[in-house]
A and B are shown apart, each in its own frame.
Chain A
Amino acid sequence: MSEVSIALNRFGLGARPDEALPTDPRAWLTAQLARYQPRPAVLAGLAGTPVIAAEIMDYQEQRRAVRQERRAAGAQQPDAAMTAGSAMQPVQRPPRDPDQMAARRQLRRTHYEAAIDARMASALVTPAPFAERMVHFWANHFAVSADKIVVTPLVGAFEFEAIRPHVTGKFRDMLGAMARHPAMLLYLDQAQSVGPGSRFAQGAALRGNKRGLNENFARELMELHTLGVRTGYSQADVTELARGLTGWSVAGIGRRAGGQGDPGAFRFAPAVHEPGARSLLGQSYAEGGEAQGQAMLDALARHPATATHVATKLARHFAGDDPPPAMVTRIAAAFRSSDGDLPTVYRAIIASPEAWAAGTSKFRTPWEWAVAAMRATGQREVASGSAVGLLNQLGQPVWKPGQPIGYDDIAATWAGPDAVMRRVEAAERIAARAPETDARALAAKLYPAALSDATATAIARAESPGQGLALLLVAPETMRR
C-alpha cells in the first residue's frame, strides 16, 4: 500500500474525489491539527444542552402530571420510559398518552437524529479528516449510550460540547469536560449517587427513605476512561472515588439530587457530597467539595497506567488489532512527557513506522465504512434521518454501543458474514443514488498506487457504471483501511 493511500484511508476518513491528493502524507496529517474546527458550520445550527435539557424537563414534568392524574383516577400504569435503559424491548407496552408519545418522538428526532445527520455531514466535508477521526475515537473512548432514554437527546451534545473542543487540547481537559456533562452524569448514574453520610441522606433517612452511593461512574472512570482494567486499583478505591464524586450532578433533569439551576447545567450539590477526606490509590484527598473530586481526576489523568491504556487503544486504532508494543511505549511516553497534550500524542502516532506498515490494515467498522463510502461518492450532505437508518442496518447504531466500554476496535467484532452482506446491500443503494461516476478513475484516486488487480478487473467488467461503483465500495480496499 502506498503512503498516500494509508494517509487518506487509515489516518483519514477515505478520499473524496473533489479533493487534491496530499503530496507529503505526514505533513498533510500534521497540518490538520491546526486546521481542525471544533464547531464547524454543519454543527452550528444544532441545539445545545441548555435547550435540550429544558425540553427534557418539560417532558418529565408533563409525564409526572399525567401519572399523578392517572393515579388519582386509580388507573396505575407502570412507565419507566425516561429512566430505563434496555437493549431488550419488552414485548408489550402499556398504552401511552398520545401527547406524551408525540413529545418523546420529538425529543428523539429533533436532537438524536439531527445530531447524527450533522456528525455524518461533518465527516463528509471536514478539511481535517484525521482530526475528525480522533473525534470519533475519543467519543467512543468516553462512550455514553443513547439506549438509556434520558441520554438519547443529549448524546450529540455530549460529543459536540465535551469531546470536540478538546480533541486538539489536553486529555485532562477532555476528561474533565465529559465528567461534568449531563449525558455522562446521567448515563453512569452519577447524578443520582448520594453520599451516605451527607446532609441529604441523613434527612432522607429521617423521612424513612434510604438514599446512597452508586459506584457505576467511579468504576468506569478508572476501568475504561483512565487507568484501564486490572491495573491495580481495588474495590475500596472504586468506593472512595465514588464518595469523592458525590455531589457531581445535573440541575433540573434526572433525579432530584441535582436540585436547582439552569436545566442540564453541571451542578455541584454540597448537600449530597460525602463529607471527609478520601483515600485513592494510596493518596489522601482532603475535603474540599468539588475540588476533592477534581484532584482525584488530576491524579487519574496523570497516572502512568492511563498513558499506557490510552496509548494501547490508539496503537490498536492505527497499527492493527494487536497493538505493537514498541509503538505503545512511544505513544505512552509522549503522553506522559507532555502531560497528556493530545497533538503531541498524535505526532507520535504519525511518526510511528508501525502505523505505515502495509500489512497492518484495519477492518473498517460500519461507521468508518459508511463514511468512506459516502465520501467516495462525493456526497456532501445526508438526507434527514438516513444516516441513523444506514448505521442501524449496518450493525453499529450511532452512539449506541449499549455499554460504557464503547464499540470494539477489532476485526473479529465487525467482520461477520451477515455484516459483509449488509454492506453489499447498502453499497448497491449508495451507488444507485450517486451521480454517474466512472468507478475506474475513481478507484485510482481513492487508492493511489494501492489498487489491486482483482478490484480493477471487477470494476472494469461491471455491467453498468452503478454496479462498478458498488463493487468499488465493497472491494477489499474499501472494507479495510
Chain B
Amino acid sequence: MFDRRSLLIGGGAAAVAAAFAPRMAFAKAATDRRFVFIIQRGAADGLSMVAPVGDPAFSGVRGVLGEDLAGARKLDAMFALHPALVQTGALYGKGQALFAHAIASPYRDRSHFDGQNVLETGGVRAYQQKDGWLNRLLGVVPTEERSAIAVAATVPMALRGSREVASYAPSALPDASEDLLRRVTMLYEGDKQLHALWDEALQTRTLTGDLAGDNGRNAAATGALAAKLLLPANGARIAMIETGGWDTHSAQKGRLQAQLKGLDAMIAALQAGLGPVWDRTMVLVATEFGRTVAVNGTNGTDHGTASAAMLLGGAVKGGRVIADWPGLAPAALYEGRDLKPTMGLDAFIGGAVAGHFALDPAPTMAALFPASAKARATEGLVRA
C-alpha cells in the first residue's frame, strides 16, 4: 500500500512508478500520442460555430443569429468562425485546426439521448452497440497508449466497455485518511465491482497529486486538469471531456456566445497545459446532431440534423474547412428544415484516429464503427 503523503513530498514520478510497478509501466517510446474527445451534449449549432456566411441563403434564414457573424473571422470564401472562438481561430491560422461541416452520425431522428447514444457507441441505431467507440479504440491502439480517463465523476458512454478506464473530477472534500483507504481496500477485496473501481480510484489519485485544489468549475480549469492527467509519461493517453448546455432552444445568441467562449478557453488550457506534447495531440470536438436552419419563434433553434465537427492539435493537417456543402436554399434542406448531412461523422472520426495513431484505416473503422462497415475512413486529416 502506498503512502500518498510521502509520495507528494517526494513528488517524483519515480515514486509513483515504484508504488504501482505491477500495474503502471512507463511508456516505451517518446513518440506517444494523445487523443481528447470533447463531446458537446445538447446538439451544438454548427451553423453558428462555423458559419457559411458565403451561402447566399445564410443571412436570410438565420436572421438575428446571422448578425453575430458579421465581423467574424473568415476561414475561407464560404465559412467564418464564431467570434467567441478566439484561440481556436489562432490555431486555425497556424494550420492546427480543421473544421468539417454538414457532418452527422448515422442517426436521423431528433432525440438528444438517442443521438448521443449513437455518437458515443458508434452504432447506426441507438442502443444497438453496448459499448463505446472510445473504449473499443483502446483495443486497437498500440499497447503503451491504452490508458484512458474520463474527466468527469462518472464514465460517459463513449468510454464504457470491456477495457478498464479511469475517471477523475476534482474533489473539494477533505482527503480520507490513509488508514481508512487501506481498510476500504481490504473491505472490497471480495467484491468484484467495487474492488475494480477502488483500484482505479487509488491509481488515479496518485497521478493527480494536488489537483484537489482545482475546483474544475469552469471550462479552463477542466482543460488544464485534462492536460495534467494526459501530460505525464505514465498518465492517460486518451481522455474524454463532457460539456453540456448546447441545447439552445431560446435566446441562442448570448447562450452560445458563453458556451463557445468556455469551449475556446478549455481548448486553450489544454494546449497550454500540454506544452510540447500538443504537437502529438489531437482534440476532437463533436455533437450528437445540429440544429434547425431557421430561427424559431424564441430566437433559438430546435433539434436538427447535420452540424460541424472540429479537429485541433499540432498533428492535425488544419487551416481548412472540409465540406461537401449542400446549401441552405429551402430545396437543399433535410426534411425541409435542417442542414443536410453530406459527410459521415463516423468516417471522419475513424480517419482522424487512424491517421493519428498510425493505424490501418479499414480495420480501425471496423473496430470503431462495426455497424457502418461500408463507410471508408476520411483520409488526409493528419500531417504526414
A215 close to B (CB within 8 Å):
yes
Q: Mark A203-247, 1 if CB is under 8 A from B, else 0.
A: 000000011111110010001000001100001000000000000
Q: Which B165-187 residues have C-beta < 8 A from chain A?
A: 166-169, 171-177, 179-181, 183-184, 186-187
Stretch binding the partner chain, chosen from B15-23, B252-260, B351-359: B252-260
Assuming A88-B266, A421-B171, A471-B187, what are 7 further A-B pairs, CB within 8 angstroms? A88-B263, A219-B303, A223-B111, A229-B113, A403-B42, A413-B154, A415-B197
B279 close to A (CB within 8 Å):
no
A454 close to B (CB within 8 Å):
yes
User: For the complex, what is the distance from the CA of A467 to the CA of B263, rounded to whole Å?
Assistant: 42
Is the CB–CB distance between B255 and A471 below 8 Å? no
Is the CB–CB distance between B262 and A424 below 8 Å? no
Chain A contacts of B204 at CB under 8 A?
417-418
Q: Which A410-461 residues have C-beta < 8 A from chain B?
A: 411-422, 424-429, 452, 454-455, 458, 461
A386 close to B (CB within 8 Å):
no
What is the minimal beta-carbon distance from B23 to any residue of chain A, in angstroms? 13
Residues of A at the B interface (CB closer than 8 Å) are: 78, 80, 83-92, 147, 189, 192-194, 196, 201, 210-216, 219, 223, 229-230, 235, 255, 363, 393, 395, 402-403, 405, 411-422, 424-429, 452, 454-455, 458, 461-463, 467, 470-471, 474-476, 479
What is the minimal beta-carbon distance from B241 to any residue of chain A, in angstroms? 10
25 contacts between A and B (CB under 8 A): A83-B250, A84-B255, A88-B259, A90-B262, A192-B297, A193-B297, A193-B298, A194-B297, A213-B297, A216-B302, A219-B110, A219-B111, A229-B113, A229-B126, A363-B193, A402-B244, A405-B112, A413-B154, A415-B197, A420-B194, A421-B198, A424-B181, A429-B173, A429-B174, A474-B187
B335 close to A (CB within 8 Å):
yes
Stretch binding the partner chain, chosen from B49-57, B217-225, B375-383: B217-225
User: For the complex, what is the distance from the CA of A363 to the CA of B192, rounded to whole Å?
Assistant: 13
What is the minimal beta-carbon distance from A202 to any residue of chain B, in angstroms? 13
- Of B154, B244, B249, which one neighbours A87 at CB under 8 angstroms? B244
Total count of chain B residues near the partner, CB < 8 A = 76
B10 close to A (CB within 8 Å):
no
What is the minimal beta-carbon distance from B201 to any residue of chain A, in angstroms? 4
- Of A395, A461, A471, which one neighbours B184 at CB under 8 angstroms? A471
Is the CB–CB distance between B251 and A467 below 8 Å? no
Is the CB–CB distance between A210 and B63 below 8 Å? yes
Q: Mark B87-119, 1 if CB is under 8 A from A, else 0.
A: 000000000000000000000011111100000
Chain A contacts of B201 at CB under 8 A?
417-418, 420-421
Is the CB–CB distance between B187 and A229 below 8 Å? no
What is the minimal beta-carbon distance from A110 to any residue of chain B, in angstroms? 22
Chain A contacts of B244 at CB under 8 A?
86-88, 402-403
Chain A contacts of B220 at CB under 8 A?
91
* Known contacts A212-B297, A467-B183, A471-B184; A418 and B262 CB within 8 A of each other: no
* Known contacts A417-B201, A422-B153, A454-B190; A462 and B183 CB within 8 A of each other: yes
User: For the complex, what is the distance from the CA of A479 to the CA of B187, rounded to whole Å?
Assistant: 12
* Known contacts A86-B258, A88-B263, A213-B297; A416 and B187 CB within 8 A of each other: no
Question: How many inter-chain residue pairs (CB < 8 Å) link A and B?
Answer: 214
B265 close to A (CB within 8 Å):
yes
User: For the complex, what is the distance from the CA of A479 to the CA of B201, rounded to whole Å?
Assistant: 16
Which of B150, B220, B258 has most A Cβ within 10 Å?
B258
- Of A196, A219, A420, A455, which one neighbours B198 at CB under 8 angstroms? A420
Is the CB–CB distance between B303 and A418 below 8 Å? no
* Known contacts A214-B250, A474-B187; A84 and B171 CB within 8 A of each other: no
What is the minimal beta-carbon distance from A43 to any residue of chain B, in angstroms? 28
Q: Mark B128-159, 1 if CB is under 8 A from A, else 0.
A: 00000000000000000000001011110000
Q: B198's closest neighbor in chain A, by CB?
A: A420
Is the CB–CB distance between A214 and B297 below 8 Å? yes
- Of B153, B191, B217, which one neighbours A89 at CB under 8 angstroms? B217
B41 close to A (CB within 8 Å):
yes
What is the minimal beta-carbon distance from A30 to any residue of chain B, in angstroms? 32
Is the CB–CB distance between A476 and B191 below 8 Å? yes
User: For the complex, what is the distance from the CA of A467 to the CA of B249, rounded to whole Å?
Assistant: 49
Is the CB–CB distance between A420 and B197 below 8 Å? yes
User: For the complex, what is the distance from the CA of A422 to the CA of B212, rounded to whole Å?
Assistant: 12
Is the CB–CB distance between A425 and B174 below 8 Å? yes
What is the minimal beta-carbon distance from B357 to any residue of chain A, in angstroms? 25
Chain A contacts of B41 at CB under 8 A?
402-403
Chain B contacts of A230 at CB under 8 A?
109, 111, 114, 126
Chain A contacts of B160 at CB under 8 A?
412
Q: B189's closest neighbor in chain A, by CB?
A: A454
User: For the complex, what is the distance from the CA of A192 to the CA of B167, rounded to whole Å?
Assistant: 39
User: For the complex, what is the distance from the CA of A215 to the CA of B250, rounded to whole Å?
Assistant: 11
Chain A contacts of B303 at CB under 8 A?
219
Is the CB–CB distance between B200 and A417 below 8 Å? yes
Chain A contacts of B169 at CB under 8 A?
395, 418
B296 close to A (CB within 8 Å):
yes
Is the CB–CB distance between B191 and A416 below 8 Å? no
User: For the complex, what is the distance from the CA of A80 to the CA of B245, rounded to whole Å?
Assistant: 14
Is the CB–CB distance between A467 and B179 below 8 Å? yes
